[in-house]
């Protein structure tokens, strides 16, 4: 199974952009890249996903490298409510959703 690698933690200042990196060097051509975030004592919530092209939605942007071996979740203006653990995962055609350790994002006012 392909794995993802993320930094354990990152810090940001409120109102500034945040770039959360993810490496997935063994990704296969049919794996989708998903991002979820989890607040304490809650289930993860969906943020964004993509396959090859960059994606934007109301929550964030996803930039995918041309070789698909890495991706970056971009929060354009971090707020205190964005403090959470962010998970980058690959969705296999076989259906497994494998989570890594995630990146704990802290946002300073």
8 vs 109, which CB is nearer to other proteins?
Answer: 8
Task: Report the distance separating Cα 86 and Cα 45, nearest Å.
Answer: 10
CB of 44 to other proteins, least distance (A): 5
Among 26, 54, 101, 106, binds other proteins (CB under 8 A): 101
21 makes contact with other proteins (CB under 8 A): no
Taking alpha carbons only, the member of 20, 34, 32, 25 closest to residue 67 is 25
Q: Do 48 and 96 form a contact (C-beta atoms < 8 A)? A: no
Q: Do 24 and 3 form a contact (C-beta atoms < 8 A)? A: yes
32 makes contact with other proteins (CB under 8 A): yes
* Total residues binding other proteins (CB under 8 A): 23
53 makes contact with other proteins (CB under 8 A): no
């Amino acid at each position: 199974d392909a794995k993802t690698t993320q930094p354990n933690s990152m810090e940001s200042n409120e109102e500034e952009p945040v770039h959360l990196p993810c490496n997935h060097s063994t990704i296969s051509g049919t794996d989708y890249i998903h991002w979820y975030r989890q607040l304490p004592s809650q289930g993860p919530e969906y943020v964004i996903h993509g396959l090859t092209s960059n994606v934007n939605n109301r929550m964030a942007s996803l930039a995918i490298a041309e070789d698909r071996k890495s991706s970056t979740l971009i929060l354009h203006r971090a707020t205190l409510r964005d403090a959470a653990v962010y998970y980058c995962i690959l969705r296999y055609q076989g259906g497994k959703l494998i989570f890594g350790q995630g990146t704990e994002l802290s946002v300073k006012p």
